Structure 1
């Protein structure tokens, strides 16, 4: 698959079935609790996603498409205009792992999000054992800001959670450099 053909499509109700199948994959379930997913719950999340033009939007979601295939989803949530920050999330189809599509999709999302003049900081979390997500964060210039021990619960087991941050100046500096 050509990374140059990858593009983001704003989430729409017709993406629910793909998103449900994506979240059911073993690779997704390894690091995310997806047990309570229902078509109605995911549809609600899609309908709540705003557009970059909406000054009241609290979150955004896109689906990644490459060479005519859906390859994953990327999102920003808990958007705070007052604080100038948002939390990122992403999930890539296991059939496309290891090809750089996740890094490219998140990079495209960063390009879009940093068009918002109020946004100064983005952050994401990874479980300490999720090496692939940590690699994506490093590749895109995120800084590991700390680990909260036993911060999350996944399938009844306490997990350490890492926090990664990226400032607007760091992203735009990388783009110019």
Structure 2
């Protein structure tokens, strides 16, 4: 897919409290609400999550969050949570403003996050979940080399409706092999 953009026009910026208004508006978009329950989060809750996000240099960090900037606009967020040094893994999350869907920006942003995360020497595996009907998010996972590891039927609730949830995994060796190839 051609994005018509250069590598230098997309940036990951460490999360700061001043990003909370953008994050609230992003989470209020119809596209976000279709796949994520965002109704219960207040600005105060999101600021707390931002303040809990760490830098990669922090040795005991449990999570990381960056906001995605494309040209002169905030367009999304990427994160790693439940970081476990003992197990060498982290769970990924990402959300992109609907106005920027279909341009390859989500794949690029998640790829940039993976490049940063795999600098952590203990990290051997990253994983993410998608709802079975979220084809765009599954496309991001496939494009970056994730393997569909299974579907948990009726595993989660979204606005009172039971949903199937897919689990995707990527090992360090797979990521490094793709980077060399």
Kindly provide the CA deviation profile for residues 98-154 of structure 1, in whole angstroms up to 9, marking residues without a partner as x: 000000000000000000000000000000000000111000000000000000000
Runs of 4+ residues deviating >2 angstroms? none
Kindly provide the CA deviation profile for residues 70-112 of structure 1, in whole angstroms up to 9, marking residues without a partner as x: 1100000000000000000000011100000000000000000
- Residue of structure 2 equivalent to 1:32: 36
- Residue 50 (str. 1) matches residue 44 (str. 2): no
- Residue of structure 2 equivalent to 1:153: 157
- Residue of structure 1 equivalent to 2:111: 107
Structure 1 unpaired stretches of 5+: none
- Determine helix, strand or coil for the equivalent of 1:82: coil
Q: Taking structure 1 as the reference length, what is the TM-score of the superposition?
A: 0.99
Say whether the 8 Å CA contact 1:2–1:67 is kept in structure 2: no
Count of residue correspondences: 177
Structure 2 unpaired stretches of 5+: none
Matches within 5 A, 1:6-85: 6-85=10-89
Distance 1:162 1:3, change over 3 A: farther
Please report how far the alpha carbon of residue 69 of structure 1 lies from its aligned counterpart in structure 2 after TM superposition. 0.6
- Residue of structure 2 equivalent to 1:2: 5
- Residue 124 (str. 1) matches residue 124 (str. 2): no
Q: Taking structure 2 as the reference length, what is the TM-score of the superposition?
A: 0.97
